[in-house]
Structure 1
Amino acid sequence: MKQPVEGEVDARLAARLAELRGERGWSLGELAERSGVSRSTLSRAERAEISPTAALLNRLCQVYGRTMSRLLSEVEAESGPVPLVRAGEQSVWEDRASGFVRRSVSPPHPSLRGELVEGRLAAGADLVYDRPPVPGLEQHIWVLEGALAVTAQDVEHRLDTGDCLRLRVWGPTRFRCAGAEEARYVLSVVLP
Structure 2
Amino acid sequence: MRSTEEMAPEHVEARLAGRLAELRVERGWSLEELARRTGISRSTLSRLERAEISPTATLLNRLCAAYERTMSRLLAEVESEPPQLVRADQQAVWRDGASGFTRRSVSPPHPGLRGEIVEGVLRPGADISYDGPPVPGLEQHIWVLEGVLEVTAGGVYRVSAGDCLRFRLWDRSRFHNPGPDPVRYALVVVLP
Shift of 1:162: 0.4
- Runs of 4 or more off by more than 4 Å in structure 1? none
SS in 2 for 1:70: helix
Alpha-carbon contact 2:92-2:104 (below 8 Å) kept: yes
The TM-score, its normalising length taken from structure 2, stands at 0.95
Aligned to 1:157: 157
Per-residue Cα deviation, 1:148-183 (whole angstroms, up to 9, x for no partner): 000012x21001110100011000000001220100
Separation in structure 2 between the aligned mates of residue 163 and residue 145 of structure 1, nearest angstrom: 10
Separation in structure 1 between the aligned mates of residue 33 and residue 20 of structure 2, nearest angstrom: 14
Name the % identity. 68
Q: Is 1:129 aligned to 2:130, yes or no?
A: yes
Alpha-carbon contact 1:70-1:110 (below 8 Å) kept: no
Separation in structure 2 between the aligned mates of residue 159 and residue 63 of structure 1, nearest angstrom: 29
Q: Is 1:21 aligned to 2:24, yes or no?
A: yes
Shift of 1:107: 4.0
Shift of 1:110: 2.9
Separation in structure 1 between the aligned mates of residue 132 and residue 111 of structure 2, nearest angstrom: 22
Separation in structure 2 between the aligned mates of residue 92 and residue 110 of structure 1, nearest angstrom: 20
Separation in structure 1 between the aligned mates of residue 82 and residue 149 of structure 2, nearest angstrom: 32
Alpha-carbon contact 2:72-2:108 (below 8 Å) kept: no
Aligned to 1:9: 12
Separation in structure 2 between the aligned mates of residue 56 and residue 87 of structure 1, nearest angstrom: 27
SS in 2 for 1:105: strand
Aligned letter for 1:22? Answer: V
Shift of 1:98: 0.3
Alpha-carbon contact 1:82-1:108 (below 8 Å) kept: no
CA RMSD of aligned residues (A): 1.0
1:49 to 52, 56, 62: 52
Aligned to 1:176: 176
Aligned letter for 1:178? Answer: P
1:74 to 73, 77, 98: 77
Give the count of matched residue pairs.
189
Shift of 1:127: 0.7
Gaps of 5+ in 1: none
The TM-score, its normalising length taken from structure 1, stands at 0.95
Aligned to 1:112: 113
